[in-house]
Amino acid sequence: MGWEAARNIADEFGGERLEIPKGDGYWRHVRNQRMRRERAQGATRAELAARYHLTERQVTNILREGNSARTQTGFDW
């Protein structure tokens, strides 16, 4: 985040409890969308697994998931 941004947040919300999400769900969604697009363009499961540091089984599950990922993460894309 950086010191300046942290100081600005502290100045604005000092004394309040803040929960700032890490964004893991968002980035996982972006990765999965990229994988689906690459698969549609001809990438193999093995290529995707190597590129994204996943097992082929994980890639298969992600590709099978399709649009249901939206409801599982709780985000409204």
pLDDT tens-place string over residues 21-33: 888 999 999 999 9
Mean pLDDT of 9-24: 87
What is the band of 15 on the pLDDT scale with cuts at 50, 70, 90? Answer: confident
- What's the pLDDT tens digit per position in 28-77? 999 999 999 999 999 999 999 999 999 999 999 999 987 564 445 555 44
- In the chain, alpha helices (H): 3-13, 24-40, 45-52, 56-65, 69-73
What is the dihedral angle through the alpha carbons of 34, 35, 41, 44, rounded to the nearest 10 degrees? 160
- Distances 40 to 24, 48, 68, 74 between C-alpha atoms, Å: 24, 12, 18, 25
